[in-house]
Amino acid sequence: MSATETGWNTGAGRRLGVVTSWSYSLGSVSLDTISEDTYSEDTHYYTVAAQSQKDAQVRPRTGSDAVDAILYAAHRIRTAADTALREHGLSLPGLKLLTALAERDRSMREISQVLHVSPRTVTDMIDTMEGRGLVARCAHATDRRVTLLRLTEAGARELAAASTGAERVAAAAISSLDADEQNTLQNLLERVSVPAGKPLR
């Protein structure tokens, strides 16, 4: 089953994927400062759950109202997506992992690169998902030194169900905008960037 077949690669899913790649520090806990070597699905769940309750009204303060609004919108979408995914025992990194395996079998190193996390973190995630029967380890056809990861039938079903929930979040996030407004928002967000190689002042 491909990412397209799960629905995650539709317009709303792509927008969610772009927007939820943002995150920011909330209070004393940052979703991006959890050590890669101590990452676990449970740690991620509990951190998000606690922060969604404690810091629901906390807005970033970057000095730019526009950037604050972007970050706060991204946080609300990510929190909602995490809540939906927790119903399936997944997080956004877990969903990305399953989506990557839905395309083809991959090595641990490839998954580490796709998720931008350490190999140790990938191992922990795979151990958990293998225990649930969502992924399986298998031998490489030509290189015995490489172990490949494969999405199981149970994993494909879980991915499809989880992707549906994520799609609902994406659709709900922009439901108050008409088609023209959504296109305008997308075009504006795609122009937001920090020029590479230029010092920030």
Q: Please, which contacts does 22-27 make with residues 24 or more away whose CB atoms are closer than 8 Å?
A: 22/70, 22/71, 22/74, 22/75, 22/78, 23/74, 23/75, 23/78, 24/60, 24/71, 24/74, 24/75, 26/51, 26/55, 26/58, 26/75, 27/51, 27/54, 27/55, 27/58
pLDDT digits (tens, 9 = 90+) for 117-161: 898 999 999 999 999 999 999 988 888 888 899 999 999 999 999
- pTM (global) more than 0.85: no
CATH architecture classification, 3-190: Orthogonal Bundle (1.10)
Lowest mean pLDDT among 54-58, 74-78, 86-90, 108-112: 54-58
